[in-house]
Amino acid sequence: MTTTKEKLVLIGNGMAGVGTIEQILKLGGNYEITIFGSEPHPNYNRIMLSYVLDGSKTMEDIILNDLNWYEDHNITLHTGTTVVRIDEAAGQVITDTGMAVPYDRIIIATGSNSFILPIPGCDKQGVVGFRDIADCDAMLAAAKQYRRAAVIGGGLLGLEAAKGLVNLGMDVTVVHLMEDLMERQLDRSASSMLQAELTRQGVKFAMGKQTVELTGGERVNGLRFSDGTDLQADFVVMAVGIKPNTELARASGITVNRGIVVDDYLQTSIKNVYSVGECTEHRGLCYGLVAPLFEQGLVLAKHLCGVAGNAYEGSIVSTKLKISGVDVFSAGDFQETAEHTVISTKDDWKQTYKKILLKNNIIVGAVLFGDVTESASLQKLVKQGAEMTDEIYAEVMGSGCCGNGEAKKGISVETMKDEEIVCGCNGVTKKAIVDAVTENGFTTLDEIKACTGATRSCGGCKPVVEQILQFVLGDSFQQSAKQGICGCTSLSRDEIVAEIQAKGLRTTKEVMNVLDWKQEEGCSKCRPAVNYYLGMIYPDTHVDEKESRFVNERMKANIQKDGTFTVVPRMYGGVTTPEELKRIADVSIKYDVKVVKVTGGQRLDLIGVKKEDVPKVWEELAMPSGYAYAKALRTVKTCVGSQFCRFGTQDSLGMGALLERKYERLDFPAKFKIAVNGCPRNCAESCTKDIGIVGNDGGWEIFIGGNGGIKPRIADMFCKVKTDEELVEMCSAVMQYYRETGNYLERTSEWVERMGLEQIQTVILNNETNRRELAARIDFALSQVSDPWEKMLDDTETRTALFEKTTV
């Protein structure tokens, strides 16, 4: 008998809400889950926004759960959609688009908004908060156009924003009302050390200043302070605090004070409606840090799954500053009073500071600067309300030693309680990590990260996770340190390929079974990789496993934030015909395509195709796919070359079309782009492509390893050739060598740096036999994926005909 699942709706696609859903899934909760998120992104890590701002990470790097994760867990996700009201009587949630979705239970996790000072000029252009990726984008854009920035607020977010803007080349001043930075988390000593260090790193400060007006016309050009002084600024970041986002709750008749009021099981004043995260008020407190939000989520998840667990009794907060080069930590009480006993040490030479506060000999707070090695231990001691002993003093303050005379390294994880949270960013308990080792046989940090989420965010819990691993594994810990391509295996890419060849493994399931994968079905990271390696090794016999493909590849189109798809037909070398353009227009009108966009790859994107219409769109276009979704050849960009340009020396249009027709549909480790220029003026931008080709009077120049994306890289000069035949052979050899040695998802820009340009040249340029064998292997692989009319033949007649076909 089939049991109907209860409908669980999560309102808010952030860390707190999705963290709760993750816990529900781990506990075996039997719900039909729908998630609404106002932002046009899957779940990402807000803790890492400062790293996006300083350029050390990209948006892709901070995604916690990609679109495949939602699909794999049968979760319906609505991005860019805001729920505006809960209709309790009808049992529905109502969105800003008029959508009505039924529910049995609701989790509200709408988070918080940046608090914008209500002062004259606060609505001018160039004034932003710092709360989400859109704010990061605004800062990145401002840094390209403007020089002077002001950050109002010397708290955690303000300092992260300031350091990020400094790294982007801006002249940044932090404006703070108080005389001490982070006065809610640090004492005066740590605050002054922090200010001195940030000053050394280029941040300026205006302390004790109250901003009363933002000056300028439509765009801000300065700040005016209460003492009558001014500060010039072309860009202003407001980081003076956050306010719980309670609009939905108020509109739905839910009890709200500062936040959405909940009981000890996170239930609101409406039955079956719960709330977690920054929007939530529990026992009069709202929490703006991550660890309490996951503690709430764990309690709620157990409650919704009918698992016995303790009620939520509030959290002891701790703070860890995430600015590069500055390590600061505080937990519990940090400002001493007459009631406190103070234990402290300060080293001006090494720029370290440590303070522990006791009340009646109970550890109630701590502050660390410069060296935060003991942060996890101190956080645990504060949370437990541990009594100070000589042993703890020696361990934490670093003056004690073990029986063998070596300095002790923190508190033993053996004393930690099972339900104690180790990873505050993702709400991972000690028990979850121990279970991952004892029940699943995981032995490495990568495996623990993949299974539990611990260490996948700020990484601050990594030392404690390692201690737990070492405690559980004992002497075998060191032998288990080798990391594999993902947490499912300790095998590297080269080891997997070697085992496939040695053992004659033919399917992904066979590989995972024979090679003792930790997770029987693998994960979204290793399944596509193994599928690619099998196809590369056995081009003639491997049956492509569609279930191992990403959703875009399965649909043959790119999914967009609203759930529709972008269809991209191929235009060889950027050339099309009036007939093809008419079909594109007719199909776009018939299937209500929202936008037809001319792309940088010289083709047209049909954006906004409904999922159910994608197959019909492809059928009626009657054009090959541009493979915009695939780890394959995406585009061959061309200039008009010698056919039309007075500077052109080579037929770039013809060569571009030839190369695109030759290599289309063949899988690569990552997406692959080519450009062909008819002369050195580089109109097709060969310098930023995986293979860039430049024509000159004497033949062709070949460049490899370029990238114009998130991590730009100028291509390296690889070689010069005289004939078209030599050019094709050289491209074939480079591409096949990359196919055979590249890590899955590794772009050629990374591959060239890892392998070394000289090594690639030695294998291909300096060894004619190798080069021809590589070219032969790619031709064999191409023969397995191309239709006969697409094959490239060597005779001049066929090549000439192809060139003429491309001529405008």
The two structure tokens encoding residue 495 = 């080891």
State the Rg of the chain over Cα. Answer: 30
Check: CB of residue 558 under 8 Å from CB of residue 628: yes
User: Going by C-beta distance under 8 Å and a sequence separation of 6 or more, which residues neighbour residue 724?
Assistant: 655, 658, 700, 799
Tell whether residue 461 is among the known ligand binding residues: no
Buried/exposed code over 680-719 (b: 16+ C-beta within 10 A; e: otherwise)? eeebbbbbbbbbbbbbeeebbbbbbbbbbeeeebebbebb
Rounded Cα distance between 552 and 558, Å, is 5
- Residue from 467, 494, 492, 485 nearest 411 by CA: 467
Residue 125 is classified by DSSP as: B
Q: What is the DSSP string of 385-434?
A: TPBP-HHHHHHHHT--B-TTSPBP-S--GGGS-TT-EEETTTTEEHHHHH
- Residue from 121, 129, 119, 127 nearest 212 by CA: 119
The two structure tokens encoding residue 434 = 């121990």
Q: Say how far residue 129 (Cα) sits from the centre of its chain.
A: 21
Rounded Cα distance between 186 and 370, Å, is 13
Check: CB of residue 343 under 8 Å from CB of residue 356: yes
CB atoms within 10 A of CB 327: 21
Match 């003639």 to its residue by tokens.
540
Check: CB of residue 60 under 8 Å from CB of residue 106: no
Element (H, E) at 445: helix 445-452
The two structure tokens encoding residue 679 = 């002369």
Check: CB of residue 656 under 8 Å from CB of residue 638: yes
Rounded Cα distance between 415 and 399, Å, is 21
Check: CB of residue 240 under 8 Å from CB of residue 227: no
Check: CB of residue 241 under 8 Å from CB of residue 153: yes
Tell whether residue 679 is among the known ligand binding residues: yes
Match 């090679």 to its residue by tokens.
515
Q: What is the DSSP string of 295-326?
A: HHHHHHHHHHHT---PPP-----EEE---TT-
- Residue from 293, 276, 278 nearest 244 by CA: 278
63 SS3 class: strand
CA distances from 702 to 82, 418, 763 (A): 50, 59, 16
CA distances from 265 to 158, 303, 304 (A): 33, 7, 10
Element (H, E) at 162: helix 156-167
Tell whether residue 683 is among the known ligand binding residues: yes
Rounded Cα distance between 542 and 666, Å, is 13
Buried/exposed code over 649-660 (b: 16+ C-beta within 10 A; e: otherwise)? bbbbbbbbbbbb
CA distances from 241 to 152, 157, 742 (A): 10, 8, 46
Match 């605090």 to its residue by tokens.
241
Rounded Cα distance between 270 and 265, Å, is 13
Binding-site members for siroheme are: 683
Binding-site members are: 639, 645, 679, 683
Binding-site members for [4Fe-4S] cluster are: 639, 645, 679, 683
